[in-house]
Amino acid sequence: MTCAVADALALEQKLKAQAYGLGFDLVGIAALGPMETSAAFDAWLEKGYAGDMAYLERGAEKRRDSRLPFPDARSAIVVGLDYGGREPSGPVARYARGDDYHEVMTSKLTELHRWLELETGHPIAGKPYVDTGPILERDLARRAGLGWFGKNTNLVNPRLGSFFFIGSLLVDLDLEPDVPFEIDRCGSCTRCLDACPTDAFVEPRVLDATRCISYLTIELKGEIPEHLHEGVGSSIYGCDICQEVCPYNVKFARELKEPAFRIREALRGKDAIALAQDIIEMEEAEFREAFRKSPMKRAKLSGLRRNSVVVLANASGAS
């Protein structure tokens, strides 16, 4: 092994140690280039499965090749941050109970970028992506060895399950990539598909978002179709059902350790009925204060009220 190769390997090892030190639970390195699922993603959009999420159609050319969103990039550092799959079920999906993960992860990735520049002794062009920009981050994560695509479309890690966020730091630096995760470990299991109360899965790994509870309670602009009310059940924001039943989560999901994701006061100790009643009675100013820095702001107070009406109707048997 040459000195240059030894130095490069040492940098990757130190980089991963630093990422773990910042609180990330997974880290891998991916080579950039054409993305494996871009054609399937284009076909998914064409079939209308994205519903109102027209923003997913932007930057199609860049989405198909991960070298294009940030032109100077040569490598992707891909990370996973667990959000506590052992937390109890509730009317709000686990990922949304604390602070906005976009901000939490972007801050950590920015800190990792600064460390990389200090470690190498020179400026490095780089940009963090956390559900932003035309990046197929699941593709990068699989390419970085972090897991495989489960039948519920989530990335599944064999030691962690799927209750984690994915983020990427694209950098103008040649790094030794990790071995991609090539094995499908779902086997014949269909628990996630069978458990969906709105039958949102067209087939394994194909989700019709317009029937998904997460889409209906977060992204949908209009009223929730009446024939899907019963399936929404007690969900006010998001849904974890297809993850909860996954054997990898049943066995490997972890306790919540990231302080930023701890449940906020406005949600603590409230079942679906109590929370729905609170939301319906909230004023805008109260909502902004109670959900400051929360991802739940995405649905706006009007969307959460709409969801709450459905939940209360389901509870009373009137839906």
Per-residue pLDDT at 140: 98
Active site residue 131: yes
Structural domain includes residue 311: no
pLDDT the model gives residue 1: 46
Residue 67 counted as domain residue: yes
Q: What is the DSSP letter of 92?
A: B
H helix runs in 78-208, sequence order: 101-120, 137-143, 191-195
65 phi and psi angles, rounded to 5 deg = -145, 115
Residue 208 resides in a domain: yes
Mean pLDDT of the chain: 96
Residue 132: phi and psi, rounded to 5, are -130, 150
Per-residue confidence (pLDDT) for residue 9, from 0 to 100: 60
Is 244 exposed, middle or buried, given 0-12, 13-18 or 19+ CB atoms closer than 10 A? middle
131, 194, 199, 271: the catalytic one is 131
- The answer to whether position 313 is within a domain reads no
Residue 203 main-chain phi, psi, to 5 deg:
-165, 170
Q: Is residue 306 part of a domain?
A: no
Distances (CA, A) of 120 to 73, 123, 170, 174: 16, 8, 16, 12
Which residues neighbour 274 within 8 Å (Cβ) at sequence distance 6 or greater? none
The pLDDT of residue 318 is above 90: no
* pLDDT, tens digit, 9 for 90 and up, residues 284-311: 999 999 999 999 999 999 999 999 999 9
User: Residue 132: which pLDDT band, with cuts at 50, 70 and 90?
Assistant: confident
User: Sign of dihedral through CA atoms 66, 71, 75, 81?
Assistant: negative
Q: Is residue 231 part of a domain?
A: no
Q: Edge to edge, what strands does the sheet with 164-171 contain?
A: 26-31, 75-82, 164-171, 126-129
| Domain region containing 44 | 1-222+239-261
- The pLDDT tens digits for 79-122 are 999 999 999 999 999 999 999 999 999 999 999 999 999 999 99
Residue 317 binned pLDDT confidence (cut-offs 50, 70, 90): confident
Q: Is 202 among the domain residues? A: yes
Look at the block and give the residue holding tokens 């086997």: 187
Residue 32 has φ and ψ, to the nearest 5°, of -95, 160
8: confidence class by pLDDT, cuts 50, 70, 90: low
Among 123, 33, 143, 122, CA closest to 78: 143
* Number of separate domains in the chain: 1
Domain assignment of residue 289, yes or no:
no
